[in-house]
Structure 1
Amino acid sequence: MVKKTFGVIGLGKFGSYITRSLVDQGESVIVCDNSQENFRDFREDVENLYMLDSTDIVALKEAGISELDVVIVSIGENIEASILTVMALKELGNKMIIAKATSKTHGQILSKIGADKVIYPEREAANRLFVELIASKVDVNVISENLKMCKVLASDIFGKRTIGEIQESSIKKDESGNIIQEIKIVAVKRNENWLMDFSLELEVFNEDFIVFLGNEKAIDFYVKKFENL
């Protein structure tokens, strides 16, 4: 059986994870990035490392990208570079292009210009966390450096108030008026049903479970309140 060949363009967290996984499985991979510094963890394991501008068709072709079975574009923050890279790969004739998107709009654009598959690593990670959160009374998971997700039993702290009232009361500002603490409710579990499309006027009952996002300061504040019940 002929093994597939892979290319990874962009060595951020996601690109590095994919590259490491492919290498550990013994797959053939060509890795491209615009910074030599990002190659440091792969110099001993990956033979084909290329520092290049991934929007440059000639550079991609010279690196052998056009001959690969699958190319993963893991450029996230630079949306323009992400889009132009996918366009370059299409022009080269790559048959399977998988591209990382950071937003719904970004993903739609990537699909329209020819990406065969669009993935949303951050959103998918958040969804997995969401599923894990439903198991206990109070549970917290870290999504990013300053964003956490928490699931709690509403009880007397959140019960008998509307979604809007809970969110509004969570806002705390510093002396300059900058918001330093805030939460956003993303789901409510009532009996056996999950409510995810609701208005700010929805009243929360003491027996409901709620899932909310917040910065670290806000989540830590509410966790302490619930732990003291």
Structure 2
Amino acid sequence: MKQFAVIGLGRFGASVARTLAKMGYEVLAVDDDEEMINNIADEVTYVAQANVLDERALKSLGLRNFDAVIVAIGQEVKASILVTVMLKEMGVSKIVAKANDDLHGRVLQKVGADIVVFPEREMGIRVAHSLTSRNIIDQIHLSPEYSIAEMVAPSHFIGKSLTESALRQKYGITVMAIRRGEDIIISPEAKQVIQKGDILLVIGSDAKLESIGE
């Protein structure tokens, strides 16, 4: 079973830890605040109260044995950078770090973070897209121009097969899955007919994703 460690149990860190635990993975939640630890203790596999800026305390957690460590330290830029450096030196195989802005993100990448995330920015983008598109339910940005989106099947596609809808040919959009009630159709065939109420999981450019919902 995969093991994950989350350092920093603010809103972002606690959400990641709880979600991973609900998915069935072993999760170690780490923070120096006893109240934060107590709030999540019953929902994850392990908890540890530790000052992660103390290198000996950090090493004692055995983090190099985990599949990934998420550095979710809040607004303390210096602390997140120092922890990332120490984790890299310890030989942690995969480090995911939260950044507050572009400069913070670039520094985290240079000192060893394998993946840098911008939770506030990404949430803002997702909310904006959900407000301006009638069909998009949720959206994950892969780059400044491309996204994976969950969207309600547009009315003008209902009753048509994926081939007839020409999503790939006309819009350059690929349907990766269809959620139909309680069922999920993975990698649907070209002859699959889109039905009313279907939720499509698609990948494509942001401009095209917005245009098919108009």
Tell me if TM exceeds 0.5. Answer: yes
Aligned partner of residue 118 in structure 1, secondary structure:
strand
Q: Residue deviations 1:114-153, cap 9 Å, x none?
A: 10000000000011011112147xxxxxxxxxxxxxxxxx
Q: Displacement, 1:60?
A: 1.7
Shift of 1:91: 1.0
Query: What corresponds to 1:59 in structure 2?
Result: 57
Per the alignment, residue 25 of structure 2 pairs with: 27
Is 1:99–1:117's contact at 8 Å kept on the other side of the alignment?
yes
Partner Cα distance (1:131, 1:86) in 2: 32
How big is each residue's C-alpha offset from its partner over 1:47-91, in whole Å with a ceiling of 9 and x where there is no partner? 421111112222122122121110000012011110000011011
Classify the secondary structure of the residue corresponding to 1:124.
helix
Match of 2:204 in 1: none
Contact 2:4 2:67 in 1 (8 A): yes
Where does residue 95 of structure 1 map in the other structure?
93
Of 72, 75, 83, the residue aligned with 1:77 is 75
- The answer to whether the 8 A contact 1:33-1:51 is kept is yes
Give the distance between the partners of 1:25 and 1:41, measured in 2 at CA: 19
**Structure 2 CA distance, aligned partners of 1:108 and 1:126?**
20
Aligned to 1:111: 109
Deviates more, 1:37-46 or 1:15-24: 37-46
Aligned to 2:16: 18
The TM-score with structure 1 as length reference comes to 0.56
Residue 20 of structure 2 contacts residue 27 of structure 2 at CA under 8 Å; is this kept in 1? Answer: yes
Query: Identity, % of aligned pairs?
Result: 39
Distance 2:50 2:11 in 1: 19
1:20 to partner: Cα distance? 0.7
Q: Is the 8 A contact 1:60 1:66 kept in 2?
A: no
Structure 2: which 5+ runs fail to align?
A: 135-206, 208-214
Q: Offset at 1:45? A: 2.8
Name the count of aligned residue pairs: 136
SS at 2:79 equivalent: helix
Q: How do 1:176-195 and structure 2 match up within 5 A?
A: none
* Deviation of the 1:14 alpha carbon: 0.2
The whole-number CA distance in structure 2 between the counterparts of 1:48 and 1:23 is: 10
Partner SS for 1:40: helix
Q: Using the alignment, how far apart are the partners of 2:57 and 2:64 within structure 1?
A: 10
SS of 1:72's equivalent in the other structure is strand
* Unpaired runs of at least 5, structure 1: 137-192, 194-229
Find the counterpart in structure 2 of residue 174 from structure 1: none
For 2:87 and 2:116, the matched residues in 1 are separated by 14
Over the aligned positions, Cα root-mean-square deviation in angstroms equals 1.7
Give the whole-Å Cα distance in 1 for the aligned partners of 2:14 and 2:92: 21
